Chain A
Amino acid sequence: MSPRVDFQHEFQYRDLGLDSFPALDVTLIGPQGEEDLIAIIDTGARYCLFSGLRAVGVGLDLEAGRRELLGGLAGTLTAWIHQVELEILGARFQCEVAFSDQHIPRELLGRHTLFDQIRIGFREGISTGYFHPLR
Chain B
Amino acid sequence: MATAAVTLAPVLTPRTLGVLADSLERDQFSDKAQALRQLLPFVEGVVERCFLPLIAPPRRSTFSGSFNRLSRDFEPIRLYLNLQILTTLDNRNLLGVYEQVLLHALDAMLSTAREMDMGPDLISAAVRDYLKILRAALQVANNVNAQPATLNVEQLMNVADWFRAATRFDYGLTAVFLILELAIPTPTPADKGALLSACKKSLIEFAQSTSRVVINEYVHHAVRNLETAHIQIRVAGRGVRDTTRRPIVPRPGQPGFGPSRRQTEIEWLKRNKDLADRYGGQWIALEKDELVANDQDYRKVREAVIEKGIKRPLIIFVPLKDNGGFMGI
Contacts and interface: CB of A to CB of B under 8 A. Distances in A.
B318 interface: yes
Query: Which residue among B275, B316, B321 has the maximum number of chain A CB atoms within 10 Å of its CB?
Result: B316
Contacts of B327: 73
B260 interface: yes
Contact of A34 (B254, B273, B312): B312
Contacts of B298: 51, 53-54
B328 interface: yes
Nearest to B266: A14
Contact of B319 (A9, A17, A44): A17
A61 to B, nearest CB: 16
A42 B328 contact: yes
A21 B326 CA distance: 10
A2 interface: no
A77 B321 CA distance: 23
B271 to A, nearest CB: 9
A125 interface: no
Nearest to A44: B328
B257 A10 contact: yes
B309 to A, nearest CB: 14
A35 interface: yes
Nearest to A11: B257
Chain A interface size range: 35 or more
A16 interface: yes
B314 A105 contact: no
A53 B299 contact: yes
Interface string B296-329: 0011001000000001111111110101011111
B45 interface: no
Contact of A18 (B262, B265, B319): B319
B276 interface: yes
A25 B329 contact: no
Contact of A15 (B261, B269, B312, B325): B269
Nearest to B253: A8
B92 interface: no
Contact of B329 (A27, A34, A77, A91): A77
A49 interface: yes
A64 B165 CA distance: 59
Given A25-B266, A72-B329, A91 B250 contact: yes
Contacts of A60: none
A44 B317 CA distance: 21
B307 to A, nearest CB: 14
Contact of A106 (B257, B275, B329): B329
A19 B312 CA distance: 25
Contacts of B261: 25, 36
A50 to B, nearest CB: 11
A40 B312 contact: no
Query: Which residue among A16, A36, A72, A106 has the maximum number of chain B CB atoms within 10 Å of its CB?
Result: A36
Nearest to B281: A105
Given A8-B255, A9-B256, A90-B250, A49 B317 contact: no
22 contacts: A8-B255, A9-B255, A9-B257, A9-B259, A10-B255, A10-B257, A11-B257, A16-B275, A17-B275, A17-B319, A19-B326, A25-B261, A25-B262, A25-B265, A34-B312, A35-B313, A36-B313, A37-B315, A40-B326, A100-B329, A105-B319, A105-B329
3 nearest CB pairs, A to B: A90-B250, A36-B314, A17-B275
Interface of B: 249-250, 253-262, 265-266, 269-270, 273, 275-276, 279-280, 298-299, 302, 311-319, 321, 323, 325-329
